[in-house]
Structure 1
Amino acid sequence: MASAASVLNVSAYLFTRIDDPAVLRPVLKERAAAAGLRGTILLAEEGINLFLAGEASGVRGFVDELRADARFAELTTKESWSDAVPFGKLLVKVKREIIRMDRPEVRPQDGRAPAVSPATLRRWLDRGVDDEGREVVLVDTRNAFEVDYGTFAGAKDWRIERFTQFPDAASAHRDELAGKTVVSFCTGGIRCEKAALYLRDEGLDAYQLDGGILGWFADQGGAHWDGDCFVFDEREAVDAGLSARASLEA
């Protein structure tokens, strides 16, 4: 049995063109299995999304090998630790989108929306305005049940039940965002990247929080944050120290 906090968990995504996701699927599954990893890898023509756990050497070796492919050279991971593998098995799937939005015109693989770093956003939130003196509005792009675990203080929460509802919700609330600096955020960055592009298409001055909530926790801890962050594995949620909630460890 693994000793306390000996299991490395990584989450990562990258919007990048993949012409052959069905061909790539068995290759990555074989590599991940050989490394003793469990979790989920999603592949689509727009990119890759993964949540994996295992021994540190196996996880990092798999990621390094993945980055050797030019398509994934810019892949960055977010790491956290647990005392057990929070996944029951290894799944590698091919999907139409690595995060479903049902808006084919939104193509982050062709170019990212502008991003704001955790340090910059912290400065803005501490001051109450951005560097140009404009009001900053945070938009939570996650589903309502995720928001209920925790979110940024004062963030917009449109109570969506699935990400495909985000565009209509954003359009309905467009006027309250106009003329402000809008920062979209999500767990790891994948949803807020698409969200920021959509908001910019709506004519808004929108940015994504680089690295998402997990990146914020790693860089800024729990500043301006209330609660925990829901994660899609058996840990259920992590606190600002990127540890499983104490109630789950009891």
Structure 2
Amino acid sequence: MEPLDTSAPRLRVAALYCFTRFDDPAALRAPLEALCHEHRIRGTLLLAGEGINGTIAGTDAGIDAIVAHVRGLPGCEGVDVKFSDAPHMPFHRMKVRLKREIVTMGQPDIDPLAIVGTYVEPQDWNALIADPDTIVIDTRNDYEVAVGTFARAIDPHTKTFREFPEWFRSERERLLGQGKAPKVAMFCTGGIRCEKSTAFLKQEGVEDVFHLKGGILKYLETVPEEQSLWEGECFVFDQRVTIGHGLAPGSYELCHACRRPISAEDRASEFYEIGVSCPACHGERTEEQRAAYRERERQEKLAARRGEAHVGAVYRGE
């Protein structure tokens, strides 16, 4: 990939997804990847038989070209795209990957095109989750919830989205009780996980299921901070790590050993070593692994001194 024009005044980030039916997603990969390289776009796009998902960054013209291309794919005319700005390129390279699912839940019978919860606009979300008859569930993973969440939200303490169905089935009676089932409101970063989680609950027989349209990103973009029920920051899947109200850059950094967000307090810990470990992962790694991470960190610094981009970022997906 050619070097990005760093003289550009800003970079635009586009987070997008669309559930649709691609008969041959492999055939869509090469043209999409070529166009991304042509416009010096970086990030990750996932293609599967159920649609497309990903986050990319580049110039305004480059992002416009990719979004226009995606909207030309079968069933993607109304693809949901959330835009934000970044002061620096938040991705190391461009990847277009073929996957079984564009967001992995591991429930093959779930089809968001057939059944899904009720969308709630950001400006109406506060009233719904403030209602005492509403159960609010954060469908994201534990490391994301730890950075920030909505008031009153239940944390499932899942490490991956694949664990969500088992969590709900085991907690269903406690959550919903034996009488009239309460309303269930769910949210995630950009909205895609809730497409599947609400479809899953509907399939499980839960009737009043709602989800935040556009996800946390749209809420933070459109709801004024003084009216917000959001507490903390929002983890994002790129080198910005977290963002706040108005999609402003957050205060967290990323542990390059485990890819979890780390706070200023974490960085002051005896278990924190740049590129090697943080309080969350120090006990999960062997000394041999940490030695390998130290060598990787050394190579990254050497590459930076030579003016070369180090390729090593991992996209976790929404």
Q: Unaligned regions of 5+ residues in structure 2, if any?
A: 254-263, 265-318
Mean alpha-carbon deviation: is it higher for 105-114 or for 190-199? 105-114
Q: Deviations over 1:157-179 (max 9, x none)?
A: 01001011000111112124421
Find 1:237's aligned residue among 236, 242, 259.
Answer: 242
Whether contact under 8 Å (2:242, 2:251) holds in the other structure is no
Aligned residue in 2 for 1:147: 145
Q: 1:80 is aligned with what amino acid? A: S
Whether contact under 8 Å (1:137, 1:182) holds in the other structure is yes
Q: Deviations over 1:212-240 (max 9, x none)?
A: 11011112144111100001111111112
Counterpart of 1:93 in 2: which secondary structure? strand
Alpha carbons of 1:174 and 1:123: their partners in 2 closer, same or farther (altered >3 Å)? Answer: same
Q: 1:92 is aligned with what amino acid? A: V
Distance in structure 2 (CA, Å) of the matches to 1:68 and 1:242: 28
> How many positions carry a matched residue from both structures?
243
Alpha carbons of 1:6 and 1:210: their partners in 2 closer, same or farther (altered >3 Å)? Answer: same
Counterpart of 2:124 in 1: which secondary structure? helix
Aligned residue in 2 for 1:182: 184
Find 1:11's aligned residue among 7, 15, 21.
Answer: 15
Shift in Å, 1:3:
6.0
Q: Unaligned regions of 5+ residues in structure 1, if any?
A: none
Whether contact under 8 Å (2:244, 2:250) holds in the other structure is yes
Find 1:74's aligned residue among 50, 57, 78.
Answer: 78
Aligned residue in 1 for 2:96: 92
Whether contact under 8 Å (2:233, 2:250) holds in the other structure is yes
Runs of 4+ that moved beyond 3 A: 1-5, 109-112
Aligned residue in 2 for 1:200: 202
Alpha carbons of 1:149 and 1:221: their partners in 2 closer, same or farther (altered >3 Å)? Answer: farther
Distance in structure 2 (CA, Å) of the matches to 1:53 and 1:161: 27
Q: Deviations over 1:170-190 (max 9, x none)?
A: 111212442111111110011
Alpha carbons of 1:202 and 1:221: their partners in 2 closer, same or farther (altered >3 Å)? Answer: farther
Distance in structure 1 (CA, Å) of the matches to 2:9 and 2:189: 21
Q: Deviations over 1:62-82 (max 9, x none)?
A: 102321334210102111111
1:22 maps to 2:26? yes
Distance in structure 2 (CA, Å) of the matches to 1:167 and 1:69: 31
Shift in Å, 1:113:
2.9
Q: 1:182 is aligned with what amino acid? A: V
1:59 maps to 2:55? no
Normalising by structure 1, report the TM-score. 0.91
Counterpart of 1:109 in 2: which secondary structure? coil
Counterpart of 1:91 in 2: which secondary structure? strand
Q: 1:241 is aligned with what amino acid? A: G
Distance in structure 2 (CA, Å) of the matches to 1:136 and 1:221: 23
Shift in Å, 1:6:
0.6
Normalising by structure 2, report the TM-score. 0.72
Counterpart of 2:15 in 1: which secondary structure? strand
Q: Deviations over 1:46-99 (max 9, x none)?
A: 010020000011101210232133421010211111111100000000000001
Whether contact under 8 Å (1:122, 1:220) holds in the other structure is no
Aligned residue in 1 for 2:219: 216
Find 2:159's aligned residue among 134, 158, 161.
Answer: 161
Alpha carbons of 1:140 and 1:5: their partners in 2 closer, same or farther (altered >3 Å)? Answer: farther
Shift in Å, 1:246:
4.2
Q: 1:193 is aligned with what amino acid? A: E
Find 2:54's aligned residue among 47, 50, 55.
Answer: 50
Mean alpha-carbon deviation: is it higher for 37-46 or for 210-219? 210-219
Identity rate, percent: 37
Q: 2:233 is aligned with what amino acid? A: D
Whether contact under 8 Å (1:87, 1:233) holds in the other structure is yes
Aligned residue in 1 for 2:110: 106
Shift in Å, 1:109:
3.2
* Larger Cα-atom Rg: 2
Q: 2:232 is aligned with what amino acid? A: G
